[in-house]
Amino acid sequence: MKKNDSNIKKAIKYLNNNQCIAIPTETVYGLAANAYSKKAVTRIFKLKRRPRNNPLIVHYYNLKDLKKDCEINNTFSKLYKNLCPGPISFVLKLKKISRISKIITNNSNSIAVRFPRHRLTRKLLKKIKFPLAAPSANISNSISPVSKQDVIDEFGHKLKFILDGGPSKVGLESTIINLIGKPQILRLGGIESKKIYKLINSLKNNFKKKNKVKVPGTSKLHYSPGIPMRLNAKKNFYNEAFILIKKRKKYNKNYFYLSKTNNLKEAAKNLYRTLRTIKKNGYKKIAIEPIPNFSIGEAINDRIIRASKK
Ligand code: AMP
Ligand code: MG
């Protein structure tokens, strides 16, 4: 049996026993458990030390599975057809007959759902008889994990199993879009907003009006590296780690490059890994040069602005 297949078997065993495991996704690693089981989902909240009022995203294999729990509409169908599986989450209405554990949604009748693209996790989802609740596999308010080692650094021996799928390809969390009532982007993320605007024209104006809906996962501290971070820096001060996107001629041991070629996708993929490396190296301060604010650069800026808030 191939190694991946035997690991998927192991993963299924843990999940069937209401345990939490870490799973790879293209955005970040998730801390996954059976979304139909109160016992399993409670373990996610405990392990992550996540406040109960912060709802979890539920991961499905396909539309057929989703329809057992959620109401869908035309906008959803269009986005699903064009963007899924992929780094986008949808807030939908829960069906009354849904089996989703109520603690996932904090007793609300709306739910955030996603169809992850990672090959191993899709294989896993196809084989189990329940969807997976899976927030990022980190202690609440710390940096999201983008590799197996990051997950080990977060939970150590407390987490029994990690399905290793290599480094996350996107490296930032999913874009979240509310599809109850007028569509609205609630969090920028892995799918650039321009791609979504192309599919739903009316959305653009709606987002520009400033997002007033309180989304728990978008609280100030959510993506904090735990040390002060200075944005739009032109240079770094003594002992400050300096995160750069554009190559500089001069070498400096405190420079950390997000991309070799000034590429925003590559920068997004490397952001969380770089923040972790800087922390591990014992720096007490970070400076970061301006990140272009288009395509996935918008989501990078969203995260570093939050990370820079105290
Ligand atoms: P993550 O920690 O990346 O899994 O993100 C989960 C985030 O999804 C939450 O913090 C919320 O921002 C969002 N979310 C989940 N469920 C809902 C919901 N029912 N309504 C609105 N936003 C939600
Ligand atoms: Mg998270």
CB 17 less than 6 A from any atom of ligand 1: no
pLDDT by residue (tens digit) across 94-151? Answer: 999 999 999 999 999 999 999 999 999 999 999 999 999 999 999 998 999 999 999 9
pLDDT computed for residue 91 by the predictor: 98
C-alpha dist (Å) from residue 9 to 30, 151, 165, 297:
18, 20, 14, 38
Backbone angles phi and psi of 30, in degrees to 5? -110, 150
Residue 215 has pLDDT above 60, yes or no: no
Alpha-helical (H) ranges within 114-252 are 119-127, 148-155, 193-199, 203-208
Whole-number Å distance between alpha carbons of 218 and 214: 8
pLDDT computed for residue 213 by the predictor: 47
CB 136 less than 6 A from any atom of ligand 1: yes
Residue 309 has pLDDT above 90, yes or no: no
Pocket test for ligand 1, best of 26, 71, 89, 101 (most atoms within 8 A of CB): 89
pLDDT computed for residue 218 by the predictor: 52
CB 110 less than 6 A from any atom of ligand 1: yes
Whole-number Å distance between alpha carbons of 161 and 169: 21
The residue contributing the CA closest to ligand 1 atom 7 is 217
Backbone angles phi and psi of 103, in degrees to 5? -70, -20
Domains of the chain: 2-205 (3.90.870.10), 229-307 (3.40.50)
Q: What is the 238 CA–ligand 2 centroid distance (Å)?
A: 32
Report the nearest atom of ligand 1 relative to the CA of 108. Answer: 19
pLDDT by residue (tens digit) across 153-190? Answer: 999 999 999 999 999 999 999 999 999 999 999 999 99
pLDDT computed for residue 222 by the predictor: 62
Ligand nearest to the CA of 100: 1
Q: What is the 55 CA–ligand 1 centroid distance (Å)?
A: 5
Q: What is the 161 CA–ligand 1 centroid distance (Å)?
A: 24
Whole-number Å distance between alpha carbons of 211 and 205: 11
Ligand nearest to the CA of 142: 2
